[in-house]
């Protein structure tokens, strides 16, 4: 659907000498610096000098036939949640600026990207401390979604800048995080692909936590194949050719419990059209009840893992710097103060039961298929009111959160047609099904938008 380059096409261009790492970096830097673009709101810090130096080094290595991977020299962005050696990790906040020392080492996921030759172009903006699916940041500005920029729609969160950097070709891939949809929601709102891996596959060291029970580190990129490459690098696995599964014979389940409730008209129309297309192509699609999904609201009724675990991490920082927190983030973290040890143990036990029962129910199917978000990207101006913000935030997070609570893996694919409001379609499965999800997604990504 798009002429935008993929990691595969860029690797081929680099190998054939049609472009250089320096050219790619210069083009990305120019887009970031364009005063008519979103660069100033998308990036909290731009690694201009370091990126140029790294690009020149990769070009020399390529000439010497010593490039560390086919992707060496391709610029990627890093969410401001990750440690980068020599830089302060702000996590989209002002609270960490004054007292925190620069990181002594790259986070393992950043180091793995560098080891493959990817070039860090800069640190991307995000919801403060990753605590929202909307993407508004009162400290560093809010990058606009690619949709209808003259009006201004939210980019989705919390990996807001990550998605916009890829959509606007300020980077060719992005490192994000996903605790309740933070890779998938901004991907859906910006018409790209976002992936939440099985949590245990990618190390969480070197990243500011939101919820260590639910956090996952994943990629955002333009295609399924691009995300598969980045995911393999992040997981320290060999990059293997992705074999798309034929749509004919796919066994897909649409959960009718919660996931289809209260959908915006654009979301419902686009989702149903995609299902019809898949069905015509031979996919077996069954609508099933998943009553276990009702358990998620119960587990989250007092704030859940995110409130309890974020409060444990923030409780001293809030005492000293709580006055500079985004009030909408501050109030959500403080919910964790009221969660007792007994409450927390109850949530742990409930989640174990939830995972076991849900995995058994969905085992006969290749994947669940559901809208990534219940809402299309809301207008920024419509969310000035806290109640409106809270409503839209919950609608953005709802479906993705189901999969994080399942400890599953999931991908968001653009399902809209050219010129339509961005809508994401999510494929999800139990933990450990990552390769299958990528194969299924690769098989359908160019079909569902026809």
Output the CA torsion sign for 379, 385, 391, 393: positive
Rounded Cα distance between 118 and 138, Å, is: 30
The residues annotated with a catalytic role in the active site are: 79, 158, 182
Instruction: Locate 76 and state its tokens.
Output: 């990627």
CB 219 within 8 A of CB 174: yes
Q: Which pairing describes strands 216-221 and 284-288: parallel, antiparallel, or unpaired?
A: unpaired
Rounded Cα distance between 173 and 87, Å, is: 21
Q: What is the H or E stretch that residue 399 is in?
A: helix 386-405
Non-local (6+) Cβ contacts of 201 within 8 A are: 235, 237, 434
Rounded Cα distance between 118 and 103, Å, is: 20
Rounded Cα distance between 164 and 43, Å, is: 10
Rounded Cα distance between 2 and 123, Å, is: 25
Instruction: Locate 262 and state its tokens.
Output: 């209260």
Cα–Cα nearest to 163, from 189, 196, 195: 189
- Unique residue bearing structure tokens 């956090």: 215
* Neighbouring-strand partners of residue 244: none
Q: Give me the DSSP letters along 231-251.
A: HHHHTT-------PPPSTT-E
């Amino acid at each position: 659907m798009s002429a935008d380059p993929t990691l595969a096409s860029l690797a081929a261009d680099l190998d054939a000498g049609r472009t250089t790492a320096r050219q790619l970096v210069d083009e990305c830097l120019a887009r970031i610096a364009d005063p008519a673009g979103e660069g100033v709101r998308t990036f909290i810090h731009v690694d201009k000098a370091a990126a140029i130096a790294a690009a020149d080094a990769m070009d020399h290595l390529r000439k010497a036939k010593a490039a560390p991977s086919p992707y060496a020299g391709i610029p990627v962005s890093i969410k401001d949640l990750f440690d980068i050696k020599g830089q302060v990790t702000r996590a989209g906040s002002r609270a960490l600026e004054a007292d925190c020392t620069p990181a002594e080492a790259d986070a393992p996921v950043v180091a793995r990207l560098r080891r493959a030759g990817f070039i860090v172009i800069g640190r991307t903006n995000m919801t403060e401390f990753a605590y929202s699916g909307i993407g508004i940041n009162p400290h560093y500005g809010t990058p606009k979604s690619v949709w209808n920029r003259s009006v201004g729609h939210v980019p989705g969160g919390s990996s807001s800048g990550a998605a916009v950097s890829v959509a606007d070709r300020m980077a060719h891939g992005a490192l994000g995080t996903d605790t309740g949809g933070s890779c998938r929601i901004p991907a859906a709102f910006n018409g790209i692909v976002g992936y939440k891996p099985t949590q245990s596959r990618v190390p969480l060291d070197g990243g500011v936590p939101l919820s260590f029970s639910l956090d996952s580190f994943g990629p955002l990129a333009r295609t399924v194949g691009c995300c598969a490459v980045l995911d393999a690098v992040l997981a320290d696995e060999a990059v293997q050719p992705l074999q798309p599964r034929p749509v004919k014979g796919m066994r897909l389940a649409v959960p009718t419990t919660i996931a289809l409730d209260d959908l915006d008209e654009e979301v419902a129309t686009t989702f149903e059209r995609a299902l019809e297309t898949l069905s015509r192509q031979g996919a077996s699609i069954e609508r099933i009840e998943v009553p276990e999904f009702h358990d998620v609201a119960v587990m989250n009724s007092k704030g859940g893992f995110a409130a309890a675990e974020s409060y444990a991490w923030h409780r001293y920082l809030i005492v000293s710097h709580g006055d500079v927190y985004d009030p909408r983030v501050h109030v959500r973290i403080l919910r964790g103060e009221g969660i007792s040890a007994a409450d927390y143990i109850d949530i742990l036990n409930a989640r174990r039961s939830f995972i076991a029962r849900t995995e058994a129910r969905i085992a006969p199917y290749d994947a669940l298929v559901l809208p990534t978000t219940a809402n299309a990207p809301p207008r920024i101006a419509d969310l000035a009111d806290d109640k409106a913000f809270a409503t839209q935030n919950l609608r953005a997070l709802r479906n993705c959160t189901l999969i994080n609570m399942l400890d599953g893996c999931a991908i968001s694919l653009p399902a809209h047609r050219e010129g339509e409001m961005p809508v994401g379609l999510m494929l999800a499965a139990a933990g450990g099904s990552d390769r299958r999800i990528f194969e299924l997604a690769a098989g359908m990504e160019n079909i569902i938008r026809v």
